Amino acid sequence: MKNKKIAIIGCGNLGTSIAHGLLESEEFNPQNLTLTKRHPESLFYLQPKGVTVISDNSQAASDADLVVLGVKPYNVPNILKEIRPVLKPGKQTIVSLATGVTLEEMQTELDPNTALFRAMPNIAADIQESITCICGKNGSTELENQIKCLFNSIGISIVIEEHLMEAATVLGACGVAYVLRFMRAMTQGGIQIGFDAKTANMIVNQTVKGAAELIIKKGIHPEEAIDKVTTPKGCTIVGLNEMEHHGFSAAMVKGVLASYNKIEKL
């Protein structure tokens, strides 16, 4: 990836997280990164690192090996129309981050030979901890490996079938917000039982990090670890059961489904 030129067209919340993650990577040359948005001033702080920040999407796209689309879904067709005249099919790859916009829909705006991928990272890309789900069209295995390599530099990546991209959006991208809302609620509980907000927050943050890393590093099912915490007749199981009486798991599953159903309507 060191020599690949990357343009992020529409560098907002997600694009900026990706840019930050890439810039942390020793493998990546900041001079190969171009970011665009209509009001680019908010990204000028990245220029001293060697990043190009402009508002001209065509200029950014014409010069890039990988063109990453970070705009909102409804902007994708217009952006593709705008940059199509400068694209070089067979020589460049388009990677869309947009939720719910299919490869087929994008293909109608592009030369049929254009290598096209969808990628669904999350904002933890900022600290190189994203999970990115990828699917593609017209791309060789080598190209797919390049895209994987790009997203592996900001976390981990998996290749999935396109019909699962919306599910990947919900679980991997919206999921960050679900977990953070859970953490906020746990912090509020911590304040009610005696901690000041800062201390409660610190305890919750490290507890969540420890729980996630335990499951990841040991490769075990969450319930297996839960069994080790729930002392018979103890306080954990009482708390967990009370949460379930109030619909904790049901609320999470219903929330996941509501997000998923919303994508269908985007």
- Span from 43-51, 59-67, 140-148, 166-174 in contact with ligand A1CAB (CB under 6 A): 166-174
* 71 touches, from ligand A1CAB, ligand NDP, none (C-beta below 5 to 8 Å by class): ligand NDP
Q: Which is nearer to ligand A1CAB, 99 or 153 (CB)?
A: 99
Phi, psi of 19 (to 5 degrees): -60, -45
Compute the Cα dihedral for 52, 53, 59, 61 and give only its sign: positive
User: Could you tell me the smallest distance in angstroms from the CB atom of residue 173 to ligand A1CAB?
Assistant: 4
Residues 144-173, interacting with ligand NDP (CB under 6 A): 173
Compute the distance between CA of residue 134 and CA of residue 124 in angstroms, rounded to an integer.
Answer: 16
Binding ligand NDP (rule: CB under 6 A), the pick from 3, 26, 39, 264 is 39
Compute the distance between CA of residue 138 and CA of residue 14 in angstroms, rounded to an integer.
Answer: 25
CA 27 centroid distance within chain: 20
* 97 touches, from ligand NDP, ligand A1CAB, none (C-beta below 5 to 8 Å by class): ligand NDP
Angle of CA points 65, 42, 176, to nearest 5°: 75
Compute the distance between CA of residue 251 and CA of residue 261 in angstroms, rounded to an integer.
Answer: 15
- Residues 28-67, one symbol each (x = binds ligand A1CAB by CB under 6 A, - = not), give ----------------------------------------
Residues 229, 236 contacting (CB under 8 angstroms): yes
Q: Does 66 bind ligand NDP (CB under 6 A)?
A: no
Compute the distance between CA of residue 179 and CA of residue 208 in angstroms, rounded to an integer.
Answer: 9
User: Could you tell me the smallest distance in angstroms from the CB atom of residue 260 to ligand NDP?
Assistant: 14
Residues 61-100, interacting with ligand A1CAB (CB under 6 A): 99
Binding ligand A1CAB (rule: CB under 6 A), the pick from 174, 187, 190, 200 is 174
- Span from 80-88, 104-112, 169-177, 204-212 in contact with ligand A1CAB (CB under 6 A): 169-177
Residues 181-210, interacting with ligand NDP (CB under 6 A): none
Tell me which amino acid residue 231 is.
Answer: T
What is the residue-wise DSSP string for 203-261? HHHHHHHHHHHHHHHHT--HHHHHHHH--TTSHHHHHHHHHHHTTHHHHHHHHHHHHHH
> With CB under 6 A, what is the number of residues at the site for ligand NDP?
23
Where residue 100 falls (left for φ over 0; alpha for ψ -120 to 50; beta otherwise) is left
Cβ contacts of residue 44 below 8 Å, gap of 6+?
53
Q: Does 146 bind ligand A1CAB (CB under 6 A)?
A: no
Q: Does 36 bind ligand NDP (CB under 6 A)?
A: yes
Interface with ligand NDP (CB under 6 A): 9-10, 12-15, 36-39, 57, 70-73, 75, 97-99, 120, 122-123, 173
Interface with ligand A1CAB (CB under 6 A): 99, 169, 173-174
